[in-house]
Structure 1
């Protein structure tokens, strides 16, 4: 190794045998692969041998990229990638026609990191894009006719993206802690920011630290409970054990 050159920490390597041990059946009968919080810095290609999984959790790892072959998981309806270092989603994400719940919060996504193909996720019901670097959304998202909940908190939006104003089934949107122009009266009439109460022990370490930082910045605001207004439910950032909300949203 050359002078002054540093190697990053090596992530854990997942074998097919290890992945199969992490596979389980949810209470509602879905095949769920949980590889969360395992120190992974590369997407485990071995799981291509488990192409029929319906739920995949790769949250709280060190992933920077998501490979194109993610589009081969045609049966996935629940995908959790929160708390990684992802800068861009592949175009093949749009091939996940069965996907209902997608969480990519607490990553490094800029607006160029969201492909237009995300608008092809016509089954999508909840989408969490919070805690990223977004300033705009792909116009194609106006085609997400089944979207009910959208998290945009802790980003860099100055205006609400027009593409979401036409989503007739959108019931909850969270835009907390964005530099929004609050003169957008019509948009505010249609969609209001949501507030949720969460317990600290339900948060992963990274998100809890961010919430604590926000509370320090807003000491003047009185609060009798632990309030984390940036979290939208159902959301795996807010709850490590997701069996309950999975059943209630099935």
Structure 2
């Protein structure tokens, strides 16, 4: 569990929660407006907060093998995203369509090991 007030770290640029036991990201996570790099690989996450896609300068996102089965609609709104790793995720329509909407604006995409529900 992340501490209360976590979303007030408005200058945070890099965050590595890989291999942690974080199952839920706090409400207000989208307020981390300076966040450029985020690693959530192998976290037991099942979903992301609704405002997750409101990270305007996020360039690299690793959610590989995280257990995610759904993403919020805001996921497709990343403007600065350059690198996305979704290796080993169970793809449902939501994740797959969000990745498709990111489209050609995404120069690097790692997708090995996709499984379908």
Tell me the TM-score normalized by structure 1. 0.42
Q: Which sections of structure 2, spanning at least 5 residues, go unmatched?
A: none
What CA RMSD, in Å, does the superposition of the two structures yield over aligned residues?
A: 2.1
Q: Which sections of structure 1, spanning at least 5 residues, go unmatched?
A: 1-41, 159-250
The higher-RCO structure (CA 8 Å, 6+ apart) is 2
Give yes or no for the alignment of 1:71 onto 2:37. no
The alignment of Structure 1 onto Structure 2 pairs a total of residues equal to: 115
Of 78, 82, 89, the match for 1:125? 82
Q: Summarize the Cα distance change of 1:144–1:97 in structure 2 as closer, same or farther, 3 Å threshold.
A: farther
Deviation at 1:119, TM superposition (A): 1.1
Secondary structure at the counterpart of residue 28 of structure 2: helix
Contact 2:45 2:68 in 1 (8 A): yes
Which structure has the larger Rg?
Answer: 1
Can you list the C-alpha shifts for 1:12-53, whole angstroms capped at 9, x where unaligned? xxxxxxxxxxxxxxxxxxxxxxxxxxxxxx123343343211
Contact 1:57 1:81 in 2 (8 A): yes
Structure 1 runs (4+) deviating above 6 angstroms are: none
Secondary structure at the counterpart of residue 127 of structure 1: strand
Corresponding position of 2:65: 106
Distance (Å, rounded) in 1 between the aligned partners of 2:98 and 2:10: 30
Q: Summarize the Cα distance change of 1:101–1:84 in structure 2 as closer, same or farther, 3 Å threshold.
A: same
Tell me the TM-score normalized by structure 2. 0.85
Q: Summarize the Cα distance change of 1:49–1:83 in structure 2 as closer, same or farther, 3 Å threshold.
A: same
Of 18, 22, 34, the match for 1:59? 18
Can you list the C-alpha shifts for 1:123-156, whole angstroms capped at 9, x where unaligned? 1000111122114313574245431111222221
From the two aligned structures, give the one with the greater helix fraction.
1
Q: Summarize the Cα distance change of 1:130–1:77 in structure 2 as closer, same or farther, 3 Å threshold.
A: same
Structure 1 window deviating more from structure 2 (81-90 vs 143-152): it is: 143-152
